[in-house]
Amino acid sequence: MKKLLVLLLLAVVGYSLITAMMGVKFGENRLGDPQDEKTVSAYYLNNTTQKLSVSNVITAIVVNYRGLDTLGEVSVLFLASLGLGSILYRKHKEGEEEVAILKPSSQLLQAGSKLIFPAILMLGAYVFIHGHLTPGGGFQGGAIIATGFLLMMMAYQDYRVSHSVLVWVESLAGITFAGIGMWGLLLGNTFLENFLPIGTLNNLFSGGIIPIIYIAVGFKVAAELTGVLDTLLNIKDKH
């Protein structure tokens, strides 16, 4: 009976979604004429290269046009890692035997992960440093770095990341982001205004504050994801 009800609900939801999507043609150019800028997307595509000298338009949207939104987003990540720590915290009772949930890994995995761990860190750093030139950016690079730490945690059970270092990295990156925003407010008119020279298109040092903010976001995301993984993997349970 309950299953039937759920299937009925799913049919209603599916039907309404399908009828809504009937009017949206796949692959249709909805930007309008690129020259007369009727949509916000056309504005971004037309003006990003001249006004910000950033080749990756998505980076320009995420960090510059919607920079305040990204600041909120990294705060949500920070809240998630904070909430995870406080929800999972528990006092250690005396005489309680605790077992780790991870099983010992083979020597092959241990040797191999030691070999590729620096390469993963370098790839992550490359992705967030070149976030304004190539696909990728702070969030993606930070996630790549966190996967490197995940590999090390899976391979070595006694691998520990120092939480105080993570907190410092995270706080400094967050302060850099907010501080650059306030600096723009002091020097210009608005929060997160671009106050540095924008340079030439497709150079590493171009785009003003955008690469700096994305590098800070990369460090912040890497520290937060590593902290979350460390908290979740090191849950000890009663024997």
Q: Which residues bind another protein (CB under 8 A)?
A: 2-3, 6, 9-10, 13-14, 17-18, 21, 24-31, 34, 40-41, 44-45, 48-49, 55-58, 61-62, 66, 69-70, 73, 76-77, 79-81, 83-84, 87-88, 90, 133-135, 137, 139, 201-202, 221, 225, 228, 231-232, 235, 237
Q: How far is the CB of 230 from another protein (least distance, A)?
A: 12
5's CB contacts (< 8 A; 6+ apart) are none
Closest to another protein by CB, 5 or 115 = 5
Q: How many CB atoms lie within 10 A of CB 213?
A: 28
Closest to another protein by CB, 16 or 190 = 16
For residue 125, give the nearest of 214, 200, 230 by alpha carbon. Answer: 214
Lookup: tokens for 12: 């209603």
CA distance 157 to 104: 7
Q: How far is the CB of 108 from another protein (least distance, A)?
A: 29
Closest to another protein by CB, 26 or 99 = 26
Q: How far is the CB of 68 from another protein (least distance, A)?
A: 12
Q: Cα dihedral sign for 52, 55, 57, 61?
A: negative
Q: How far is the CB of 16 from another protein (least distance, A)?
A: 10
What length is written for the chain?
239
Q: How far is the CB of 28 from another protein (least distance, A)?
A: 7
Asked if residues 63 and 194 have their Cβ atoms less than 8 Å apart, the reply is no
Closest to another protein by CB, 41 or 110 = 41
Closest to another protein by CB, 75 or 157 = 75
CA distance 215 to 79: 20
CA distance 63 to 213: 7
Asked if residues 55 and 49 have their Cβ atoms less than 8 Å apart, the reply is yes
Q: How far is the CB of 103 from another protein (least distance, A)?
A: 18
Closest to another protein by CB, 22 or 108 = 22
CA distance 158 to 126: 28
